[in-house]
Structure 1
Amino acid sequence: MNKIKVGVVGYGVIGQRLADGVAKQEDMELIGVADVAPTLSIRALKEQGMPYDLYCSIDDTTALEQAGIPITGKLEDMLQKVDIVLDATSAGIGAKNKELYKKYGVKAIFQGGEKNEVADVFFHGYANYEKGVGADYLKLTSCNTTGLIRAVDCIHREVGVEKVAITIIRRVADPGDYHRGLTNALQVDKAPSHQAVDLMTIIPEVDATGILVHTPVTHGHIITVVATPKKDISKEELLKLFESHPRIRVVRLADGFLGNASLFRYARDLGNKRGDMYEIAIWEESIVKSGKDIMFAINIPQESVVIPENMDAIRAAMKMQLTREEGTKMTNQYLGMK
């Protein structure tokens, strides 16, 4: 089997998880990861015995060398060995890196922090996989938008969705971050939130709006969704839909899943690396009906939820599988999802 050769640029919160995700795909080969400095993630990579080759993203390798970090080469060396790159750099850096990717004829996938203009396709593995087939540059949706679209798309494909209204209770920073410090305060953003706008970009026939509230927590976002389906659907039917989706985990308050921290702890108890969970979770007890409308709440594990869709993006861009059903099935299989 000729494996697709993949590089990861930016080895931070998302980048290290992307590298692990690619390494699990038996029809892909991780050529290496690229970064600029001996961050904690890079130091941990060294202490693990350098399971992935490291390339320096800038010309000055002094900081990495002084920290004793083994370097395989420069970013341009890696680009000459790969078919496609997952760019997980800070917002704005990916757009600059795109010029290098063009120079070496390498396809690239950018994360949610980049502007939509950086890519040919604004991509989601379940909602518009086919639009990404053969594309040179794809941009993924943000973590919240990724999970939101999974849930809405699941309903939309079965009975159609006219409109949705969402409230996002957003974690303020990732675990370990120190640059954002809300204390005893909630902060409201102006409506509509970008997640609602992005959902309409991916699924234009669904009318969406939303409000976002920043909260002083780190372990995951929670989104409440009020959806108006085109056909009436019972709670029992909706539960079956959610339960059959490989990237949705239905949980119950009665079983002890009281909130985002419960799910993070459960992921660690499962032995998942870094406490990661690829699925969004939907609380069974949160599903209620108001006339035709349905309401439910979902948990978004922000550090890992986008990893499956990134694998889908590689499959689409490289024409590994040409349909949503085939591509997502292979991603799910190699990531060990139901």
Structure 2
Amino acid sequence: MIKVGVAGYGVIGQRLADGVALQRDMELVGVADVSPTLAVRALKEKGMPYNLYNAMAGNEGLFKEAEIPISGTLEDLIQKCDVILDATSAGIGAKNKELYKKYNKKAIFQGGENNDVADVFFHGYANYEKGIGKQFLKLTSCNTTGLIRAVDCIDRKVGVKKVAITIIRRVADPGDYHRGLTNALQVDKAPSHQALDLMTIMPHVDATGILVHTPVTHGHIITVVATPKEDISKEELLDIFSQHPRIRNVRLADGFLGNASLFRYARDLGNPRGDMYEIAVFEESVVKSGKDIMFAINIPQEAVVIPENIDAIRAAMEMQRDRIEAVTETNKYLGLGKWMSK
């Protein structure tokens, strides 16, 4: 049984903890955070299903005042684990790396950290083999994770020469205030980091892209123009996507009009927090232009990277050396692909 800890119990950390707890071949030792945040207070109100560790020396009094029990320090948690999922704020993971090295533990960092924090820039489907046995892995961002899923899915069937993307990016997560109240769109300098990151993971694909920040919170939309090596029809593309457990084909005609529709659907399914692990392809968005094929996908930014984090544990700990065996185990325990047989 692989023992796993989560450093940082925020938007991603909460979901990582829940995802690990679902894996029957892993044990969640505990989670760590620096103060009694709302997420930590909710953890207490739920009966403390996970052991909590204090990640900042001197903050013990804050937890005591809030009557939230702690099981030790971050260093205590690290020593009890085989691998740490570091979901701390950007830059903190690089500092925590020194602790992971001190105790010779493996760690997996999130997309906000610089690439040089890890041995491998990792994606479960696209380059699983490169992460096997490595001490430090870094995940791609939410947008890049979903984008690579779609492009890799096509590439493994018919090959992909190049892609051009436009990302309509939510400006903040639900509940965030630090970005302010806005009524504007903002264009980033091209090419976007997601296109560059895709080429890092899949160097044989020529990618470029533009990113537009939008004043919404529930998900990103990415439009993709792909040039496959073999000519494929709209129907063939949708069939390729339909075989992937982390991709849903949805229809505007059925009421899936955009990001908010998918968020509501996830809540109606009873998914915790309204989360979806899978990306969605809007069927009516698929169009051909010569050999190029265009489509739009929805990225549920709060949960989409969780499966790939679990894949990373499997690779780093050499739980499965075969890519398909690994992702299949992750998918099974997270309940991914259940809709495929319905």
TM-score in same-fold range (> 0.5):
yes
Map 1:163-202 onto structure 2 (within 5 A): 163-202=162-201
Question: What is the match of residue 46 of structure 1?
Answer: 44
Question: What is the match of residue 6 of structure 1?
Answer: 4
Please tell me whether residue 137 in structure 1 is matched to residue 98 in structure 2.
no
Contact 1:181–1:216 under 8 Å retained in 2: no
Distance in 2 between residues matched to 1:188 and 1:65, nearest whole Å: 45
1:80 is paired with a residue whose SS is helix
Distance in 2 between residues matched to 1:265 and 1:44, nearest whole Å: 22
2:19 is paired with a residue whose SS is helix
More divergent stretch after superposition (54-63 vs 37-46): 54-63
Map 1:1-338 onto structure 2 (within 5 A): 3-60=1-58, 61-338=60-337
1:14 is paired with a residue whose SS is helix
User: 1:181 Cα deviation (Å)?
Assistant: 2.5
CA offsets, 1:29-59, max 9 Å, x none? 0000000100000000000000000000111
- Which amino acid letter does the alignment assign opposite residue 114 of structure 1? E
Structure 1 unaligned blocks of 5 or more? none
Distance in 2 between residues matched to 1:126 and 1:160, nearest whole Å: 15
CA offsets, 1:183-233, max 9 Å, x none? 221000000000000000000000000000000000000000000001101
1:73 is paired with a residue whose SS is coil
Distance in 2 between residues matched to 1:284 and 1:166, nearest whole Å: 17
Distance in 1 between residues matched to 2:170 and 2:56, nearest whole Å: 32
2:80 is paired with a residue whose SS is coil
Distance in 2 between residues matched to 1:235 and 1:124, nearest whole Å: 26
Distance in 2 between residues matched to 1:337 and 1:317, nearest whole Å: 22
Structure 2 unaligned blocks of 5 or more? 338-342
TM-score by length of 1: 0.99
- Which amino acid letter does the alignment assign opposite residue 107 of structure 2? A
- Which amino acid letter does the alignment assign opposite residue 101 of structure 2? K
User: 1:182 Cα deviation (Å)?
Assistant: 4.8
- Which amino acid letter does the alignment assign opposite residue 26 of structure 1? R
CA offsets, 1:132-153, max 9 Å, x none? 0000000000000000000000
User: How many percent of aligned residue pairs carry the same amino acid?
Assistant: 80
Distance in 1 between residues matched to 2:124 and 2:273, nearest whole Å: 24
Contact 1:172–1:182 under 8 Å retained in 2: no
Distance in 2 between residues matched to 1:183 and 1:43, nearest whole Å: 29
- Which amino acid letter does the alignment assign opposite residue 218 of structure 1? T
Contact 1:182–1:215 under 8 Å retained in 2: no
The number of residue pairs the alignment matches comes to: 336
Distance in 2 between residues matched to 1:51 and 1:16, nearest whole Å: 12
User: 1:105 Cα deviation (Å)?
Assistant: 1.1
1:266 is paired with a residue whose SS is helix
Distance in 2 between residues matched to 1:247 and 1:188, nearest whole Å: 29
| RMSD (CA atoms) | 0.6
- Which amino acid letter does the alignment assign opposite residue 246 of structure 1? P
Distance in 2 between residues matched to 1:193 and 1:181, nearest whole Å: 23
- Which amino acid letter does the alignment assign opposite residue 270 of structure 1? L
Contact 1:22–1:28 under 8 Å retained in 2: yes
